[in-house]
Amino acid sequence: MTASATPSGRVELTLRNPSPYTRGGPIVAPWQPVAAAGSLRSGTARVFYDGMGVPTQVDRLDPDDSSRDQLVFSVDERVEKSEEDDYRAPCGTVAVHEGPQAAQGSAWVEVHPTGVKLGNGTLQLWVNTSAASPREDHRDDHWFGGAVTSVQLHGMEMLDAHGAAGGYHHHPDIRCMQVDRVHLVRPPWNVEGSEDVYLHNRNWRTVSAHAGAVRATAVIASDPFRYSWKDTDGKPRIFDCAVYRAISLYPDVDWVGEEIWVKATPGGEGRPAHFWFVPRYFMMSNMSAYPDKFRYPDHPGWFVITSPAEPRQGYGFATDSMAGPLWHPPLDYPQGRTRHRSFSWELGATRFAHSVHIFRQSTTPREISDAIGLLWYKQVYKPMRATL
C-alpha cells in the first residue's frame, strides 16, 4: 500500500489500471480504510482527479457491517495504461475530501414493501423481496424470493420478449438473477457434511438503498438461517447467517452489477464474518423455443443465451467466481411445457462474488458475447482500483 499522509479531512489514493490501454469508468474501493487514513468522519466524500471534482458517492451497503462500506467514483477515459498486466504500476492519483454528496445521476432506486425498483433511463428492474409472486392473480406462488421478476429494456419486457413483441400476457413464472440456493461446506471432520440452503421460498428484506452520482444500489438480504459447524477443538460454532446481494445500476447502461456475500454473525452478535459459499442462479425467461447458448468451453468467466427468433433478445452473465455448467433445464426443474425456458448455473466457491448481467434486444450471439466479454474483463476480472 502506498499510503499518502495528508492533512486531516483529505487523503490521496493511487489509481491502478491493469490494462495496456487508457481506461476510465467507475472505481469501487473499501471506504473504511480510506476514511481512517484521511480522518474523514462525515461519511460523505468528494473525489478530485487532476483538481476536478468527479462523480462520487459513499454507499453503506450494510449499516450493521461497516467493513462493507464502499467509496464509489467515476473517472474519465484517461487513466494511464500499465506496461504490465497487473496492478503494480501507479497510474495517477485522486484526492478524497470530506464533502457533501454530489448530485444524483440518472440511476435511481425506489424501495417498496415487497421489493425494490431500480432504473437508469435504459433498464428498469423489479427485485422481488417477497417470496410471493408480484402478480395479484398468483399470490399463492411462493418461489420468487430475491428474484428479478421484470427487466424492461427501453420499455420492453426482456424476460418474455416474445410475449412483449406480440402484446401477449407474460408468463407468471418469469424471473431472472435469482440466487435460489447457496451451498455451504463444513470442515471434513464434521459428520454433517455440507449443506444446501434454499432461498427461493424465503422472504428477503431491503437492507439499504442508495442513489448517488455514480450509481444506484439496492442491498437485499435473505431471511436469516442458522448454520453450525465444529472447529478442530470439536466444539460447535453457531452462526446466524444471511445471504446479502448488492444490485447496482449505472447510468444509461444495459447491464446490472451485483455483489453477493454470506454474512455470518457468531451467536447472533459480535463482529460478522463472511463465509465461503457457492451460490446458484436460476432464470426462467422465454428465449424462444430453441435458445442459443454460447461460451468458450475452457472459460468459466462468462456465457450468453440468445433467441434466434425476433426480437432476438439476449442475456449475458459474467463473474469473477467461475460460472459452472449451464443447466437447461435444471436437473431439479419439474416436468412441464416451460422446461426450455429454465436455466441455472452455479458459481465457484467464493466469499464475495462479483457478477454482471447484460440484457440486449436485436442482438446476435457474437455481439452480446463481445459485450459481456468486455464487461467481464473491465468490471469483474480486471476492474480499475484505487489504493491507499
Sites of contact with another protein (CB under 8 A): 160, 162-163, 165-169, 286, 288-290, 307, 309-310, 337-340
Task: Report in angstroms the alpha-carbon separations of 156 from 51, 120, 166.
Answer: 42, 14, 11
Give the nearest distance from C-beta 13 to another protein in angstroms: 50
The least distance separating another protein from the CB of residue 281, rounded to whole angstroms, comes to 22
Decide the pairing of beta strands 204-211 and 216-222. antiparallel
**Smaller CB separation from another protein, 97 or 171:** 171
Residue 112 or 340 with smaller CB distance to another protein = 340
Looking at the Cβ atoms of 63 and 336, the one nearer to another protein is 336
Residue 358 Cβ, how far from another protein at the closest point, in Å? 21
Pick 232 or 335: Cβ nearer another protein: 335
CB of 311 to another protein, least distance (A): 8
Secondary structure letter of residue 84 according to DSSP? S
- In the complex with another protein, which residue's Cβ is closer, 268 or 336? 336
Residue 166 CB, shortest distance to another protein, in Å, is 5
Q: Give the Cα separation of 270 and 254 in Å (integer).
A: 39
* Residue with smaller CB distance to another protein, 219 or 284: 284
- If you compute the radius of gyration of the chain from its CA atoms, what whole number of angstroms results? 21
Q: Which three cell numbers stand for residue 347?
A: 458459481
Cite the DSSP H helix spans in the chain.
Answer: 31-38, 161-166, 365-375
- Cβ 278 to another protein, closest distance in Å? 30
Distance CA 350, CA 286 (A): 30
Letter string b/e over residues 203-218, b meaning 16 or more CB atoms within 10 A of that residue's CB: bbebbbbbbbbbbbbb
C-alpha 80/C-alpha 92 separation (Å) is 7
Residue 134 cell numbers, joined: 408480484
- Strand 195-198, strand 204-211: pairing: unpaired
| Minimal distance, residue 314 CB to another protein, in Å | 14
Alpha-carbon distance 59 to 218, whole Å?
A: 10
- Greatest Cα pair distance, the chain, in angstroms, is 66
Output 279 or 330, the one with its CB closest to another protein.
Answer: 330
| C-alpha to C-alpha distance for 327 and 305, rounded to whole angstroms | 12
* Minimum separation from the CB atom of position 254 to another protein (A): 22
**Which string of DSSP letters, residue by residue, matches 283-300?**
EE-B--SS-EEE--TT-T
Hey, which residues does 326 pair with through a beta bridge? Answer: 345
Closer CB to another protein, 354 or 360, in the complex: 360
What is the rounded end-to-end Cα distance, in angstroms, of the chain?
6
- Residue 61: CB atoms within 10 Å: 23
For residue 303, the minimal CB distance to another protein (Å) is 20
Size of the chain, expressed as the number of residues it contains? 388
Judged by beta carbon, residue 274 or residue 340, the one nearer another protein is 340
By beta-carbon proximity to another protein, the closer residue of 168 and 189 is 168
Q: Minimal distance in Å, beta carbon 285 to another protein?
A: 12
375 phi/psi in degrees, rounded to 5:
-65, -40
